[in-house]
Amino acid sequence: MDMFKEIVICSKCRKRFAYGHIVRDGFKIRVLKCKKCGKRIYHPVDLEEYKKFLQLKQKPFEVKLRIVGNSYAVSIPKKIIEFLHEQEKSHQDINERMRNEIKKMHKMVKMFLESSGKISLLFDFEKDKK
């Protein structure tokens, strides 16, 4: 049973929690917030996924650079792809827009040369255009 689909009352002030979300590093984390005392309850599934993301973000991955025709190809580690697929599965019931963005992300990747010796891969670059 998901308590975020039920009416929840604050234990401090006995007022009804308001449903909302916060965004951290592009993650939408569902939250219940008491408007009177400010107490917050974060959705445990969303927090767990965010923690997984933070662990992956801190880990440097070694990738292979290959020549493919007149271009170079970079292999993306399996752990990152698996994480993206988990995200897609766990958020399917949230909203249609998010699913469409994840599908676009699988199709679109941009690479930028940030500085000497630093290349960035940007997934879902449409967000930066807005």
Condensed to tens digits (0 to 9), the pLDDT of residues 25-64 reads: 878 899 999 988 989 999 998 899 889 888 888 888 777 8
Contact 13, 40 (CB under 8 A): no
CA 122 to CA 111: how far, in whole Å?
6
Higher pLDDT, 66 or 123: 66
Contact 64, 109 (CB under 8 A): no
Q: What does the angle CA 120 – CA 76 – CA 85 come to, to the nearest 5 degrees?
A: 110
What average pLDDT does the segment 64-70 reach?
86
Provide the residue count of the chain: 130
Higher pLDDT, 116 or 25: 25
pLDDT at 31: 93
CA 27 to CA 95: how far, in whole Å?
14
φ and ψ at 71, to 5 degrees?
-125, 170
Domains and CATH numbers, the chain: 1-58 (2.20.25), 60-130 (no CATH)
| Percent of the chain whose pLDDT exceeds 90 | 10
Instruction: Tell me: pLDDT of 130 over 50.
Output: no
Instruction: Tell me: pLDDT of 106 over 90.
Output: no
Model-level pTM? 0.55
Instruction: Tell me: pLDDT of 66 over 70.
Output: yes
Instruction: Tell me: pLDDT of 128 over 60.
Output: no
Q: What does the angle CA 102 – CA 104 – CA 107 come to, to the nearest 5 degrees?
A: 115
Spell out where the chain has E strands.
18-24, 27-33, 40-42, 65-68, 71-74, 109-115, 118-123
